[in-house]
Structure 1
Amino acid sequence: MTTQTLPIYQIDAFTDVPFAGNPAAVVPLSGWLSDDVMQKIAMENNLSETAFFVPCDGGEADFHIRWFTPTVEVPLCGHATLASAFVIFNQLGFEGDLIKLQSQSGVLTARRDGEAIVLNFPKQPIKAETVSSDVIDALGGVMPVETFGVVSRDTDIVAVFDDASIVRNMRPDMSTLAKLADRGVIVTAPGDKTGLDMVSRYFLPALGIDEDPVTGYMHCVVAPYWAEKLGQVDVVGYQASARGGVVACKIDGDRVHLKGEAVLFVKGEIVLPA
């Protein structure tokens, strides 16, 4: 059987050490594969996201990037973008300190900042929304102080609590959450340690991921919320998953700057039928 090979990297994002942060697969391409093949690669990788990118031929961006969970393509993903930028800077010999990435969410940028990378992402507007009692029960039965939905991604709902320990210790009923019509659930509370402004988690079993370890997109939701509450421009979030990760955020109008590091864990090849 004739085969073709593709490079693949696994990067731990939003961390400076292996086995922490959020792992993402990164597959650089010279041209797009079919959507079906990219979805199958993401399913085979079984990570929260696999990023694919191709060089742009002219225009305002350097690359066009797309992201897939094991089950669906998503319009925005922070940690897999950070991972892709890490690969472009450190494995592909990109010259310069700024990468422009065309995506479903517009042009994103990734800027080298010492050992870290700063992403420039769109702020995610929110809207008032009542969360059903089924969701509250699945989260453990504690009533949030506020709930809202994400305008740009209507599959997501957000529950705000007044105590970070509620968020840290939450053990959701994933089987119930998985039945909630492709809805992801973000939970967040004020920070409980020096240097942390917020503590959050992100559950989305309906989209093939029980809990995302560290989420750039989610911080484009919760960082503007807490920045407004606290009267600050700069806020630091901790995502309290089992792996955990810190995301430094800066609100800049309708944009959010997300700063984090990344490390290479796996470098190899995908073998596909030609």
Structure 2
Amino acid sequence: MFRRGGRVRAIRSGGYDAALALALTDPVVNALAGARLREVARTGALPQEFSLAGDEQHPEGLLWHGVNLAPLSATPRALEDFGRHQASRARRSSSVVGDRRAVETLWHDLAEPWGAGVREYRWSQPLLLAEEPPAPQRIAPGGATVGGEAGLRPAVPGEEEAVFPAAVAMFREEVGIDPLAGDGGRSYRARVADLIRRRRTYVVIEEGEVRFKADVGALFGPVAQIHGVWVRPAHRGRGLGRAGMAELVRQVRRDHAPQVSLYVNDYNEPARRAYAAAGFRQVGELTTILF
């Protein structure tokens, strides 16, 4: 798969520790790909999904080329190597995601061979990190913020049937495709159940209905990255998103990791206001190219 003597090569077990150390130099930016790197550590999937540029013990950058294509802590030279390397191969990733400048460099070589398959460019996605959240807020049954708490808690096994429709609605709205397509939703249902089993899905449920949901989608070093934030449409604009996010930060810090991050599309003003009110500030900028 890799040319002998080339600068781009598969990460194998002997290079894993050096690769992990490099990824951990920026765990907030590298959270998604870094979590996958740890998941496949020293398994057969490691060399199939991850490459490095340069010396195995002192890599100049890493590249995840699994379900997503994502650079990790790569120098400009490494990014150019990765771009040329991937441009000569058929695309198998459903997206390109990472630090904006890194993705722009990769895309210089990938635009021509892969551009026809692009479904959407999301060039500016502010990367946010939580500071201290404001005082707790509670949402009254009618939807108004009245002080107190939102009632957020981890979902528990047995609540999959309540959570799954909310997760599907979130995916359709955020990603723009149907997670039930292909295998009828079996793999997505398994993902939802797994997050619940690991206490990584947080919900506000009232009258048997999920009204707010968020997942710890990636854990890497000191960072928990939040994915899948969703508020039931009938309850939007009433403060539930702000209250739920503020409480989410406190609970995720308690349960999983001290640093809580997420990224958001720059044009999603309601979400950005809710995140700011919950104590998030911008620390970087990501890009996602969807196929």
Superposition TM-score tier, normalisation by shorter sequence:
0.3 to 0.5
- The structure carrying a bigger strand percent of its residues is 1
- The structure carrying a bigger helix percent of its residues is 2
Could you say which structure has the larger radius of gyration? Answer: 2
